[in-house]
């Protein structure tokens, strides 16, 4: 397994970049990821870490690899333009696209739309995985099962989102191991989820916590993932509030990396 982090752990993601004033600069994020001992990073919002040679050089200087690129689509509406942009950005990188439904939760995800996106990726020599996610049409274990039964797309297993949706990450790894090609390792406090009026409130309240401090049995999860050789990406979503200090989140991600080394040997 190779261990990465992602800009979202440092407060840089689609809802903050270009919107909030205290989002860290890309060089700060990459410096922190490398200093903590991670081997790579996911892309974050397209363009945030740079593109082409700029991105390649920023990663090279720090000994980092690109671990994947997230793209949201409203599967079935025919608009695949965001996919083409991500595919172009991935040109020359040994990284794969991560598909995710844009939501809202207003019915079943269009499986034909997912299949078309996967086929388009394959025409570019790419093999995507699908990210089940709270607030989308692929959220619950049953919805994940429907996706896997109705398409041949690989699965991104996210321990935190699965727990928030009422599932169990260990059981998910056991049931879907043959389809798992990417892993987001998160811990989550279910008491925060249960107390919040909505998922968005729980997320903003910091439901995603440092590894080993929440309700996911991460050690058992990694036991189930024995033999898996892909990326394990630490994500601890952080929405920076006014007055929040980046230094505290940098330290949290360093602790997450040490937890993986000390508790599961990564």
Check residues 139 and 78 and name the one with the higher pLDDT.
139
C-alpha–C-alpha distance, residues 239 and 9, integer Å: 9
Segment 236-255 mean pLDDT: 94
The confidence score (pLDDT) of residue 61 equals 99
Asked if pLDDT for residue 79 goes beyond 90, the answer is no
Asked if pLDDT for residue 242 goes beyond 90, the answer is no
Percent of the chain with pLDDT over 90: 94
C-alpha–C-alpha distance, residues 190 and 36, integer Å: 27
Lowest mean pLDDT among 42-46, 100-104, 122-126, 253-257: 100-104
Asked if pLDDT for residue 103 goes beyond 90, the answer is no
* CA distances for 236 relative to 12, 15, 89, 182, 185, angstroms: 11, 15, 25, 16, 9
Q: Which domains does the chain have, with CATH numbers?
A: 2-264 (3.20.20.150)
Backbone angles phi, psi at 228, to 5 degrees: -70, 135
The confidence score (pLDDT) of residue 5 equals 99
The confidence score (pLDDT) of residue 170 equals 99
Segment 164-170 mean pLDDT: 98
Asked if pLDDT for residue 78 goes beyond 90, the answer is no
Lowest mean pLDDT among 115-129, 160-174, 209-223, 239-253: 239-253
Backbone angles phi, psi at 158, to 5 degrees: -115, 110
The confidence score (pLDDT) of residue 35 equals 99
The count of C-alpha atoms lying within 13 angstroms of the C-alpha of 27, restricted to the half-sphere facing its C-beta, is 3
The confidence score (pLDDT) of residue 83 equals 95
Burial of 75-88, coded b for 16+ CB within 10 Å and e otherwise, reads bbeeebebbeebbe
* CA distances for 164 relative to 135, 194, 222, angstroms: 11, 9, 19
- Other beta carbons within 10 angstroms of residue 57's beta carbon come to 11
The DSSP bridge partners found for residue 130 are: 99, 155
Asked if pLDDT for residue 169 goes beyond 90, the answer is yes
Q: Contact 260/211 with Cβ under 8 angstroms?
A: yes
Segment 90-119 mean pLDDT: 96
Percent of the chain with pLDDT over 70: 100
Segment 157-168 mean pLDDT: 98
The confidence score (pLDDT) of residue 241 equals 86
C-alpha–C-alpha distance, residues 157 and 147, integer Å: 13
Asked if pLDDT for residue 232 goes beyond 90, the answer is yes
Mean pLDDT of the chain: 97
């Amino acid at each position: 397994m190779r261990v990465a982090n992602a800009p979202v752990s440092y407060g840089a993601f689609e809802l903050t970049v270009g919107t909030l004033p205290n989002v860290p600069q890309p060089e700060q994020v990459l410096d922190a990821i490398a200093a903590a001992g991670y081997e790579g990073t996911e892309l974050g919002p397209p363009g945030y870490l740079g593109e082409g040679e700029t991105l390649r050089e920023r990663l090279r200087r720090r000994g980092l690899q690109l671990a994947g690129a997230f793209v949201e689509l409203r599967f079935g509406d025919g608009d695949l333009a965001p996919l083409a942009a991500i595919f172009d950005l991935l040109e020359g990188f040994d990284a794969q696209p991560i598909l995710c439904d844009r939501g809202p939760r207003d019915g079943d995800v269009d499986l034909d739309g997912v299949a078309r996106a996967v086929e388009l990726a394959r025409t570019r020599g790419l093999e995507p995985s699908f990210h089940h996610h709270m607030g989308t049409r692929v959220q619950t274990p049953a919805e994940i099962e429907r996706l896997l039964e109705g398409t041949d797309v690989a699965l991104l297993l996210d321990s935190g989102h699965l727990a928030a949706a009422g599932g169990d990450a260990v059981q998910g790894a056991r049931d879907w191991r043959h389809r798992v090609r990417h892993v987001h390792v998160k811990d989550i406090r279910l008491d925060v989820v249960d107390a919040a009026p909505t998922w968005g409130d729980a997320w903003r309240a910091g439901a995603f916590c440092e590894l080993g401090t929440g309700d996911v049995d991460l050690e058992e999860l990694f036991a189930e993932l024995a033999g898996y050789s892909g990326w394990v990406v630490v994500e601890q979503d952080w929405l920076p509030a006014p007055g929040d200090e980046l230094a505290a989140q940098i330290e949290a991600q360093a602790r997450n990396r040490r937890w993986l080394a000390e508790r599961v040997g990564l």
